[in-house]
Amino acid sequence: MKTRLTLAIIALAAVTSFAGSITAPRISGNYLEVRSCDVYTGPCFANAEMGLDGKEGMLVWSIREGTWNGVGLDGLSVMAVIRADGTLGDLNYQPRAGKAVLIVDAKADSQQENALKDFATKMAGKLIKEVTAVKVASMDVQMGHCKAGSCAKIKAGNLVQISTRCFGDNDHVCGNEDRFYPPLTNVDGALPAFTELASFAGRELNLTWQMTDKRSAYLGTFAR
């Protein structure tokens, strides 16, 4: 009886120790990316754009809660606007010259601003080779506010405006659409979405754009 009791205590201690070693994510929230080419499409459309379009992208992280580099970032957002020399997400060709403008939430203090910049560059990884500018802007970020979770409305000062919605029947053109390009970063539960508007008015990438009516967005969540 004693032996069984001892074994049970040891087993319970092992389970407790294992549970204690599983750390909760240090930072989590919602994610949106919009590209200048269709990401949810058929091969016939994708092949027509590959190498010509899709060199621009906007990545938005809306932090629900958590810390980065020991700094609390609850409720803040950060964005990377990227321009590369090739189609982003093309698995056969990795763009070599990814330049980015980082846009940091105006609600952030100086410590939080530095943490947000580091967070965005780490999350973007090899997509960003050079940060050409860091901008501070008031950010109004709404993601996944419709039933299917594919709706977003983003505004970053007078620099960026994004609006997405769920797909409708009229958005399926060739009938064999799929997620032709994967998301650009590590994201959970990514859902493709229809981009109603995606505009960038900054001058630091030597290009401004306003894209409408494209199947070019992903929404999801992140936890790191």
Q: Are strands 27-35 and 56-68 parallel, antiparallel or unpaired?
A: antiparallel
Residue 6 lies in a domain: no
**39: confidence class by pLDDT, cuts 50, 70, 90:** confident
Exposed, middle or buried, 20 (CB in 10 Å: 0-12/13-18/19+)? exposed
Distance CA 75, CA 42 (A): 37
Residue 47: predicted pLDDT:
54
Residue 13: predicted pLDDT:
44
What average pLDDT does range 160-176 have in this prediction?
81
Residue 15 lies in a domain: no
pLDDT for 27 beyond 90: yes
> Tokens for 214?
């494209």
Residue 203 lies in a domain: yes
**40: confidence class by pLDDT, cuts 50, 70, 90:** confident
pLDDT for 14 beyond 70: no
pLDDT for 8 beyond 90: no
Specify whether the CB–CB gap between 152 and 144 falls below 8 A: yes
Domains held by the chain: number: 1
The whole model's pTM is what?
Answer: 0.85
What average pLDDT does range 66-85 have in this prediction?
96
Residue 182 lies in a domain: yes
Specify whether the CB–CB gap between 143 and 152 falls below 8 A: yes
**Which candidate, 220, 191, 187, places its Cα nearest to that of 40?**
191
**7: confidence class by pLDDT, cuts 50, 70, 90:** very low
Residue 11 lies in a domain: no
Residue 24: predicted pLDDT:
58
Q: pLDDT, tens digit, for every residue of 179-213? A: 778 899 999 999 999 999 999 999 999 999 999 99
Residue 91 lies in a domain: yes
Residue 153 lies in a domain: yes
Distance CA 72, CA 63 (A): 10
Residue 87: predicted pLDDT:
83
Residue 20 lies in a domain: no
Give the domain extent around 38: 27-223
What average pLDDT does range 14-42 have in this prediction?
72
Angle ∠(169,143,149) on CA atoms, nearest 5: 40
Residue 143 or residue 45, greater confidence: 143
Specify whether the CB–CB gap between 190 and 135 falls below 8 A: no
pLDDT for 147 beyond 50: yes
- Under 8 Å CB-to-CB from 6, ≥6 apart: which residues? none
Task: For the chain, give the DSSP string.
Answer: -HHHHHHHHHHHHHHHHHHHHSPPPSEEEEEEEEESS-SEE-HHHHHHHTTTS--EEEEEEEEEEEEETTEE-TT-EEEEEEE-SS-TT-TT---S--EEEEEEETT--HHHHHHHHHHHHHHHGGG-SEEEEEEEE-EEEEES-STTS--EEEEETTTEEEEEE---GGG-SSS--EE-S--SS--EEEEEEEEEEEEE--STTS--EEEEEEEEEEEEEEE-
What average pLDDT does range 126-133 have in this prediction?
93
Residue 93 or residue 31, greater confidence: 31
pLDDT for 51 beyond 80: no
pLDDT averaged over every residue in the chain: 84
Residue 34 has phi, psi (to 5 degrees) of -130, 135
